[in-house]
Amino acid sequence: IRSGFAEVIYCSGKTQQHLLQIFSRIYEQEGEVLGTRASIEQYELLLNEFPNVEYDSVSRIIKIERKDKKHIGKIAVCTAGTADIPVAEEASQTAEFFGAKVERIYDVGVSGIHRLFSRLDVIQSANCVVAVAGMEGALASVLGGVVDKPVIAVPTSVGYGANLNGLSALLTMINSCANGIAVVNIDNGYGAGYIATQINKLGAGNEE
Amino acid sequence: IRSGFAEVIYCSGKTQQHLLQIFSRIYEQEGEVLGTRASIEQYELLLNEFPNVEYDSVSRIIKIERKDKKHIGKIAVCTAGTADIPVAEEASQTAEFFGAKVERIYDVGVSGIHRLFSRLDVIQSANCVVAVAGMEGALASVLGGVVDKPVIAVPTSVGYGANLNGLSALLTMINSCANGIAVVNIDNGYGAGYIATQINKLGAGNEE
Amino acid sequence: IRSGFAEVIYCSGKTQQHLLQIFSRIYEQEGEVLGTRASIEQYELLLNEFPNVEYDSVSRIIKIERKDKKHIGKIAVCTAGTADIPVAEEASQTAEFFGAKVERIYDVGVSGIHRLFSRLDVIQSANCVVAVAGMEGALASVLGGVVDKPVIAVPTSVGYGANLNGLSALLTMINSCANGIAVVNIDNGYGAGYIATQINKLGAGNEE
Amino acid sequence: IRSGFAEVIYCSGKTQQHLLQIFSRIYEQEGEVLGTRASIEQYELLLNEFPNVEYDSVSRIIKIERKDKKHIGKIAVCTAGTADIPVAEEASQTAEFFGAKVERIYDVGVSGIHRLFSRLDVIQSANCVVAVAGMEGALASVLGGVVDKPVIAVPTSVGYGANLNGLSALLTMINSCANGIAVVNIDNGYGAGYIATQINKLGAGNEE
Amino acid sequence: IRSGFAEVIYCSGKTQQHLLQIFSRIYEQEGEVLGTRASIEQYELLLNEFPNVEYDSVSRIIKIERKDKKHIGKIAVCTAGTADIPVAEEASQTAEFFGAKVERIYDVGVSGIHRLFSRLDVIQSANCVVAVAGMEGALASVLGGVVDKPVIAVPTSVGYGANLNGLSALLTMINSCANGIAVVNIDNGYGAGYIATQINKLGAGNEE
Amino acid sequence: IRSGFAEVIYCSGKTQQHLLQIFSRIYEQEGEVLGTRASIEQYELLLNEFPNVEYDSVSRIIKIERKDKKHIGKIAVCTAGTADIPVAEEASQTAEFFGAKVERIYDVGVSGIHRLFSRLDVIQSANCVVAVAGMEGALASVLGGVVDKPVIAVPTSVGYGANLNGLSALLTMINSCANGIAVVNIDNGYGAGYIATQINKLGAGNEE
Amino acid sequence: IRSGFAEVIYCSGKTQQHLLQIFSRIYEQEGEVLGTRASIEQYELLLNEFPNVEYDSVSRIIKIERKDKKHIGKIAVCTAGTADIPVAEEASQTAEFFGAKVERIYDVGVSGIHRLFSRLDVIQSANCVVAVAGMEGALASVLGGVVDKPVIAVPTSVGYGANLNGLSALLTMINSCANGIAVVNIDNGYGAGYIATQINKLGAGNEE
Amino acid sequence: IRSGFAEVIYCSGKTQQHLLQIFSRIYEQEGEVLGTRASIEQYELLLNEFPNVEYDSVSRIIKIERKDKKHIGKIAVCTAGTADIPVAEEASQTAEFFGAKVERIYDVGVSGIHRLFSRLDVIQSANCVVAVAGMEGALASVLGGVVDKPVIAVPTSVGYGANLNGLSALLTMINSCANGIAVVNIDNGYGAGYIATQINKLGAGNEE
Ligand SMILES: Nc1ncnc2c1ncn2[C@@H]1O[C@H](COP(=O)(O)O)[C@@H](O)[C@H]1O
Ligand SMILES: Nc1ncnc2c1ncn2[C@@H]1O[C@H](COP(=O)(O)O)[C@@H](O)[C@H]1O
Ligand SMILES: Nc1ncnc2c1ncn2[C@@H]1O[C@H](COP(=O)(O)O)[C@@H](O)[C@H]1O
Ligand SMILES: Nc1ncnc2c1ncn2[C@@H]1O[C@H](COP(=O)(O)O)[C@@H](O)[C@H]1O
Ligand SMILES: [Mg+2]
Ligand SMILES: [Mg+2]
Ligand SMILES: [Mg+2]
Ligand SMILES: [Mg+2]
Ligand SMILES: [Mg+2]
Ligand SMILES: [Mg+2]
Ligand SMILES: [Mg+2]
Ligand SMILES: [Mg+2]
């Protein structure tokens, strides 16, 4: 496949018929299949047809995954708060599905910055860092300042009022004065996990 | 005076005649006078009439100041970068004019966070911290997380593109998840210096 | 603790398990605990485990509080209308929890400005004023003009149409031409109560 | 003429030829003519042809006006600061040109609200009040609360940073919780003067 | 009363207790009472206590009104489409409650402009015109061009997509190049009815 | 050529060398060439090399055009005010260059709607109408309501304050409730002229 | 009829009584009738009165249509993804109702651009192309680059986060650097189908 | 150095004294130095002191560079138009300074998409692709769809009107439905070049 990875299903808003059809097609072609933003109802629908389907209610990822998968390299997925974990899990599980090793470093935002510094070793040893943060999104800047690998920043819609449903965090991250940061859409854990996997693959090349 | 401090002149856009008149009136009433956002031309105009007028081209503050002033308490004025210094000086010099002791801790933004941590002692000993930052404005959040005194955040228009002339930094600061932060207008060093002086005065009460 | 006050729980969106766990931990560590943005359901959950938990449905604050607390200084919490009271109560009760004395001056907005002036004495005697207002948020400017202590302005999402869910009030407050005003996030009574407590503590220092 | 008043020229951006032509045509038809947003250069151009043309560099209004005009009723034009005076003069002089009596009450913004209250009598005696204010624009709300005649609010672009070139003041005024306020475009003194004249004419009907 | 009219209740979001209390107080003081944005539930609540209360589900106005009221002058309330009628009725019924005569000219928007022109006589005979329109809000401009009395423009949230919940119509109206237009908040029929009544009263002065 | 028309040069911001090179290339290939947004300086540069180059300072179009061109069909280009004429001329001259017959109907905006109706015959006889308007942009809606051919709406940046440099007019036009309207970018006369030519060509098919 | 086509009902938000009345009137006048944005409930309501009414739950179009209709010309309706199909169907069925022949080319967005190129023949043979896309809306630009007929672009609200409910796609399309593109409101399949029909009619003129 | 690369000077707005000082310090420490956003005047200033300084007026990069540098891997820097080249050169030259091999593929935007496809081989062979585009920014999406390596998207401020100075292109890129895209600030060629270098280094690891 041109894009290097199998097609992924964005389940949100798909009709039952449409979802079943595309899920089946990819499963047949690839022997495994990944869906994001799936609801419980969609899980129950697919479970009827595919008893081996797995669903994680935090990340809302649904999948059938080959079991013999090797996980290479290292991606560090960090969050500012606990409310950012669903987005982070979407990133982490996407990356794992595509064969990356993932380290989770959650709840290390700037209001408790010592927690971040106590985990710096593992963060700095990754090929790529994913920074997931809502509200003011300052975590990405702090990470950009202390690691020399690419940081993929994911603004989340966590917060209220002038957070503008995540737009404020997005602007924070886009304007970061730290080096080596690029940004994906609000709550787009999937997109971050995908590009982080591409980067990690480059770094882990000789492992394969 | 009800607001506790003498009237201050916002020089920007004032006509020559208007500026001279208000400057003279306050000087007569108070024996000293402070103006912000003054141009070189306005300085030259006032210098003709008031040979003891002083002008600082960085902060663009113009003043005649009584020399016997006591400076009390401590305000820490911090900036993220060097480009934020003009706004910080407006804050610092306003606070000094109104009788506060000011510590300047400049160029300690998140892309070089170790510089901030090496100055933490002096920052934590102040009654009030002023955090001046443009681009993504993450400095305020980091400071809010490590001091237990009020942090007055000043977004600056420093940056380009999606900084939206300072609006992005303002949003970052308003959404901060750290405790004890309140925000003034973009580039409003004066306003930050003013409220910081009010806070510092409360803290330094027994010094007077 | 570095930030001077015990940790506070932002209950909104927390899972049952997560809430119980963090509530218990803080209660054990501190002997008291404060949560904001709690729902009735979260109250019922915590009540099962902690029969002494208290819930206020207006402010949506949940807490177990030590009874022997001394309240020092004075914070004046003002609202423009009655619809702003929930946000004002979040501020007031946060400040009281952290040991401040609070005066409530509600429903004194600019459309009935005589009510404000009839309460000016008590407002002017406070160490810090909290101004809570939605719609056009003009209350903060009026207060800034008549008090010489710091004013913490809280825009609320009260209003409709071009209030942009509170953004208009926020902009009004940030642009205020009155001296001594700084602003927190829309509906962020907690944040205002917190920084007001820090300021009040500086002013009430010799009381302690 | 259907709209009740003679046509007015918006001079800004008109070519020399275009301006001369339209100015001549209206002067011939009406025996007098009013132009807004005129530059010094445009004044000099018209002065060549019309020695009796008058230009006011504050309001940027250019006109030839009949001398025997009767001024009826009363419009109160108020400003928050001195920087708002050019817009207020555009309103005042437009209203006077169309035959209204105008009271100017300038520099009575909320940061010096006692100045406003000391002029309340004259304001309350007008048929219509024009409230001109930049920055946070709170003046309109205060006026709306204390007069029982229509208030036409004019936001100005005076201010900086989050004033968004006058948009913040416009939003303040549109969201006002006071009764009897309607709003025109940013810096649109002309528009306010025009509709105020229409309202004043209704109120002064029996004078004519 | 200073504002010339009795106090009006904005029912939206009021608690049952609060609503009953304020409704009773005004009814006792004035012998009549007007509430806007009332729900069916609030109507049923008030009906229990006040059997003579009236509710209109289109305008969502609730009231007890004196029966002997004289209606003076003329206000023309126009809408662009049928979906704008609820806002127009809020304006019309507010104006009628305060003693104005109202002509309703509904569904005369620019996509069927001949319907507007066929009603021009009655529109031009009013003291004040209220223009209610959503989507692109062009009706206000067209009316401003053909009447010589004040036009109060009310943008509505009718529309979808780039209507930005009424903000687009508001901007259209604020930028109108027609003379004699001023604007109130999105969906603010009440505010338009109020100021139109003030204007109408000036024009109908000699009727009283 | 795939797009049916020769390549057009967007001159704004092009270096001298770059402009000369591309102008020459197209002239050689096509025997004629069209450039938009050209400055006087760019005209003088090209005049040195191409004595037959023509420049129109209103539309800022620069061109060498074959003289024997047949103009087919009919496009009506309308403007609201005189300040919109430069954008309208960019549209008209683009359409004429590509072989369309153009009728100019300028200064027929809604504040003088009778001027529009007096020209309705010629407008309704066109294959396509281009509506050019700034400020509130209501012209497009009025045209959409009275013609049964496609209306291409061009918002202009003419206006001030809340016109948001043309964004308000764009929103007006996008939200139009009249049928048969589609919109191009602010001040994009070229784009409107181009698509109008494509539409006109379909309608004039049998003329060729 | 002036606009060339029968009136269409925008069902969304219409009361039962209002809908029935207008539906009946048009059906009587025209012998057929088209409604957009209809709900299931509205369908059931109309079915009671008109047993021959048809409803499509994807496009939410409700209609009674004459059976002997000739379909002329060709419009190509393209979508980027499957989630854009409801909007595309609103466009397609509107165009078919008004007598156009429609080719559906769905799910040919830029992330699978080869699918678009494999259908280029049919797209290039149409008189008009409708490009329906959400998220980043790049499809319109790609189509504009490869066809020489007018492209009507319809942004959809499909997406999340910084898609701003379709505003991002709208901006993409308005700024397109490809030639021959004009834009309608977000999700306005109806508007696109209408103007496409007008264009197609011009192109298919000699077929009739 | 922690961030793996030497410090870079953002020259814009730096005073002469400040620039000289920091330039000297880095040159001494590193033996080479890179500055971005430099003006001609700043070049002349530095040339006085450093005769070996080099300046490129397109990218506005100023530098003294070691001559023996090895360039590894491959980064493909693509632009949509020629106006995007300055930003692309900032990216390319930054990457080259930090040791990357760069392929420039300029002027391959969607309005001439065949030019892009003719260069696909070299683009697909890179470790990282930088997509530089203004106006509607669709290039990034097209590239994301045809390469399986990370795409760093750089929106530029090229365009006018609703391009919102680059914000529209930024939104397009952030919302891209293609996989493997992350975005930096508007016109931030430097930031894109930096992170592309980090990614390229991972991919070229075994070359070193
Ligand atoms: N209502 C509130 N608004 C903003 N911040 C809050 C609020 N309540 C608590 N917080 C802060 O949020 C932090 C907890 O966030 P979390 O880790 O998500 O529970 C606390 O330390 C408080 O500083
Ligand atoms: N300062 C102003 N702001 C807004 N509209 C104005 C102003 N001055 C004049 N006008 C209106 O603009 C119209 C003239 O526009 P124009 O045809 O472009 O000269 C006049 O009829 C006035 O109604
Ligand atoms: N989906 C739609 N989006 C925008 N306009 C529509 C739509 N459907 C119908 N219309 C237009 O709305 C008009 C009817 O509006 P109304 O008078 O509110 O029913 C019709 O004449 C159509 O031109
Ligand atoms: N064109 C640029 N855009 C954004 N950041 C830059 C640019 N050039 C340099 N930088 C960063 O800005 C930092 C220097 O900022 P300053 O301390 O203000 O000179 C450097 O460490 C770079 O990371
Ligand atoms: Mg880094
Ligand atoms: Mg703190
Ligand atoms: Mg004050
Ligand atoms: Mg009033
Ligand atoms: Mg009028
Ligand atoms: Mg039409
Ligand atoms: Mg094309
Ligand atoms: Mg890809």
Give the residue carrying structure tokens 């013999």: A68
CB–CB of G200/G128 below 8 Å?
Answer: yes
Q: Which of B82, B158, B160 faces H187 most closely, judged by CB atoms?
A: B160
The pair phi, psi for residue C162, each rounded to 5°, is: -75, 10
pLDDT tens profile H99-113 = 999 999 999 998 888
H18 contact B CB<8A:
yes
Q: Name the residue at shortest CA distance from atom 20 of ligand 4.
A: H8
How does residue D162 score in pLDDT terms, banded at 50, 70 and 90?
Answer: very high
Q: Which of C152, C139, C135 is nearest to D171 (CA)?
A: C135
Which of D10, D179, D207 best tests the E interface by mutation, with the highest count of E CBs <10 A?
D179
Residues of chain E with Cβ-Cβ distance to D5 below 8 Å are: 148, 179
Q: Does E14 touch chain C (CB under 8 A)?
A: yes
What integer pLDDT is reported at residue B2 of this predicted model? 47
Which pLDDT tens digit goes with each residue over C92-133?
A: 999 999 999 999 999 999 888 889 999 999 999 999 999 999
- What's the pTM? 0.95
Query: If you ran DSSP here, which 8-state letter would residue E203 be given?
Result: H
Distance from D125 to chain F by nearest Cα, in Å?
A: 31
SS3 call for C75: strand
Strand duo G61-64 + G100-105: pairing: unpaired
How many Å apart are CA B160 and CA B162, to the nearest integer?
6
Q: What residue type is A120 in one-letter code? A: L
At A207 the pLDDT is: 61
Full DSSP string of chain D: -TTSS---EE-TT--HHHHHHHHHHHHHHHS-EEEES--HHHHHHHHHH-TT-EEETTTTEEEE--TT---EEEEEEEESSSTTHHHHHHHHHHHHHTTEEEEEE-S--GGGHHHHHTTHHHHHTSSEEEEEE-TT-THHHHHHHH-SS-EEEEE---S-GGGGGGHHHHHHHHT--SSSEEE--TT-HHHHHHHHHHHHHHHTGGG-
pLDDT-based confidence at residue E207 (cuts at 50, 70, 90): low
Burial track B113-140 (b if 16+ CB lie within 10 A, e otherwise): beebeeeeeebeebbbbbbbbbbbbbbb
G111: which 2 tokens?
Answer: 């992330």
How many CB atoms are closer than 10 A to CB B1?
Answer: 9
> What backbone phi and psi angles, to 5 degrees, belong to G129?
-115, 135
Supply the pLDDT for residue D4: 62
Nearest CA to ligand 4 atom 9: H10
pLDDT in tens, E134-193: 998 999 999 999 999 999 999 999 999 999 999 999 999 999 989 999 999 999 999 999
Average pLDDT, chain D: 94
* G117-158 pLDDT per residue, tens: 999 999 999 999 999 999 989 999 999 999 999 999 999 999
* Cα dist from F164 to B168, E32, F136, F170, G155, whole Å: 19, 45, 11, 10, 22
Residues in chain H, total: 208
Nearest one of A37, A2, A170, E163 to G83, comparing CA atoms:
A37
Helix (H) or strand (E) run with residue E153 in it: strand E151-155
What average pLDDT is seen over chain H? 94
C-alpha dihedral sign at F7, F13, F16, F18: negative
* pLDDT at position C206 over 70: no
Question: For ligand 4, what atom is nearest to the CA of residue B107?
Answer: 17
CA of D2 to the centre of ligand 9 (A): 8
Name chain F contacts of G146, Cβ cutoff 8 Å: 2
The pLDDT tens digits of the residues spanning A139-191 come to 999 999 999 999 999 999 999 999 999 999 999 999 998 999 999 999 999 99
The response to whether residue C191 sits with its C-beta less than 6 Å from ligand 1 reads: yes
In the prediction, which pLDDT does H13 show?
87
Distance from CA of D121 to the nearest CA of F (A): 32
User: Do D39 and D31 touch, CB atoms closer than 8 A?
Assistant: no
When CB atoms are compared, the residue of C12, C13, C170 closest to A162 is: C170
The residue nearest atom 7 of ligand 2, judged by CA position, is D10
Q: Do D148 and E180 touch (CB under 8 A)?
A: no
pLDDT of residue H5: 75
pLDDT, average across residues F90-106: 98
Distance (Å, whole) CA A82 – CA C180:
35
Burial class, G41, CB count within 10 angstroms (exposed 0-12 / middle 13-18 / buried 19+): exposed
The ipTM (two decimal places) reads 0.94
Question: Rounded mean pLDDT of chain E?
Answer: 94
**Using a CB-CB distance cutoff of 8 angstroms, which residues of chain B are in contact with residue C170?**
174
Q: How far apart are CA A82 and CA C76, in angstroms?
A: 34
Burial bucket for residue B179 (CB in 10 Å: 0-12, 13-18, 19+): buried
Q: What are the backbone angles phi and psi of residue A71, rounded to the nearest 5°?
A: -110, 125
pLDDT beneath 70, residues of chain A: 1-4, 206-208
pLDDT in tens, H144-179: 999 999 999 999 999 999 999 999 999 999 999 899
Region H87-97: mean pLDDT is 98
Note the pLDDT of residue C13: 87
Whether H176 contacts chain G with CB within 8 A:
yes
Per-residue pLDDT at A1 = 34
Nearest CB to C180 within list B146, B181, B195: B195
Q: Which residues on neighbouring strands pair with residue B104, listed in sequence order?
A: B77
CA nearest to E187, candidates E153, E161, E150, E151: E153
pLDDT confidence of F188, banded at 50, 70, 90?
very high
The pLDDT score that the predictor gives to residue A112 is 81
Parts of chain G with a pLDDT under 70? 1-4, 206-208
Type of residue numbered A144? G
CB B77 within 8 A of CB B123: no
Kindly tell me if the per-residue pLDDT of H208 is higher than 80.
Answer: no
- Any alpha helices (H) in G50-184, and if so which ranges? 85-97, 113-117, 120-124, 139-146, 167-174
CA distance E86 to chain F (A): 19
Nearest to D186 among F82, F158, F162 (CB): F162
Nearest-10 crossing angle of helices A16-30, A40-49:
50
Task: Report the C-alpha gap between F36 and F23 in whole angstroms.
Answer: 12
> pLDDT at residue D2 above 60?
no
Distance E185 CA to ligand 3 centre (A): 24
Give the residue ranges of chain B where pLDDT is below 50: 1-2
Spatial distance between the Cα atoms of B7 and B23, rounded to a whole number of angstroms: 10
Question: Residues 130-149, chain H: which have Cβ within 8 Å of A?
Answer: 145-149
pLDDT at residue number F201: 96
Q: Identify the pLDDT of residue G4.
A: 62
Reduced DSSP (H G I as helix, E B as strand, rest coil) percent helix, strand, coil of chain G, to 5:
45, 20, 35
Q: Which of B143, E167, D163 is nearest to C170 (CA)?
A: D163
Read out DSSP for chain A?
A: -TTSS---EE-TT--HHHHHHHHHHHHHHHS-EEEES--HHHHHHHHHH-TT-EEETTTTEEEE--TT---EEEEEEEESSSTTHHHHHHHHHHHHHTTEEEEEE-S--GGGHHHHHTTHHHHHTSSEEEEEE-TT-THHHHHHHH-SS-EEEEE---S-GGGGGGHHHHHHHHT--SSSEEE--TT-HHHHHHHHHHHHHHHTGGG-
Task: Give F129's strand partners.
Answer: F76, F151
The full DSSP string for C77-133 is EEESSSTTHHHHHHHHHHHHHTTEEEEEE-S--GGGHHHHHTTHHHHHTSSEEEEEE
Average pLDDT, chain F: 94
Tell me, using a 6 A CB cutoff, whether residue F83 lines ligand 2. Answer: yes
